[in-house]
Amino acid sequence: MIAIVRGEVAIRRADHVVVLCGGVGYHLAVSAETLRHVPAVGGETTLHAHLVVRDDALLLHGFHSEQERDLFLMLISVQAVGPKVALAVLSSGPPRELIAAIAAGDARRFQAVPGIGKRTAERIIVELREKVSVDGHASGADTGASGSVSTALGPRALAHEGLLALGYNPLEADELLRSAEGDSAEELIAAALRTTRAA
């Protein structure tokens, strides 16, 4: 399995890059979000990778962060969401915003992505919401633990933990939740993130 590709950027296009590693050029399909972090041709880059094996092709995908790669893996586990659609979703915003949208049940955010209709957007929410509602990570292995945490913490404390998992520090999480309103952790997180976008 190819996990990381590091080398010189040989080709940089809207939907893929080619990275030279030891004299071999690796073609990696990338999201617009990852492409923002890839330097111009001739620069050095490091991308997390995932190889999709098909009968007729070996398709390598590159990601700026492990979080984006993990979210990609979650998305392609959803029925009717293939690698191209998953990359389109990842192109629509930073991973932590997409994870927050899933946690908040914001299906409209995903309906705006080309190739995703109402039914698929709702399926993404239904199948992935439980996995990201607490830890903010793309890991189904943590789902059981997440459920036990959900019953132990109140909505505001749970939302605070969720913001920490999304990359905010404790002071930032406190500040974001100060004026947030909602009856559930998901609503509080969504309200907090709306505050950041408004600012």
* Domains, in order of start, for the chain: 4-64 (2.40.50.140), 67-198 (1.10.150.20)
CB-based contacts of 64, cutoff 8 Å, min separation 6: 33, 34, 36, 37, 38, 47, 48
What average pLDDT does range 124-138 have in this prediction? 71
Q: How far apart are CA 56 and CA 175, in angstroms?
A: 51
Q: Is the pLDDT of residue 142 over 60?
A: no
- The helix/strand/coil state of 36 is coil
pTM of the shown model: 0.68
The answer to whether the CB of 28 falls within 8 A of the CB of 16 is yes
Distances 127 to 1, 6, 27, 147 between C-alpha atoms, Å = 26, 33, 31, 15
Confidence of residue 168 (pLDDT cuts 50, 70, 90): confident
Q: Is the pLDDT of residue 197 over 70?
A: no
Burial of 83: CB neighbours in 10 Å, binned 0-12, 13-18, 19+: middle
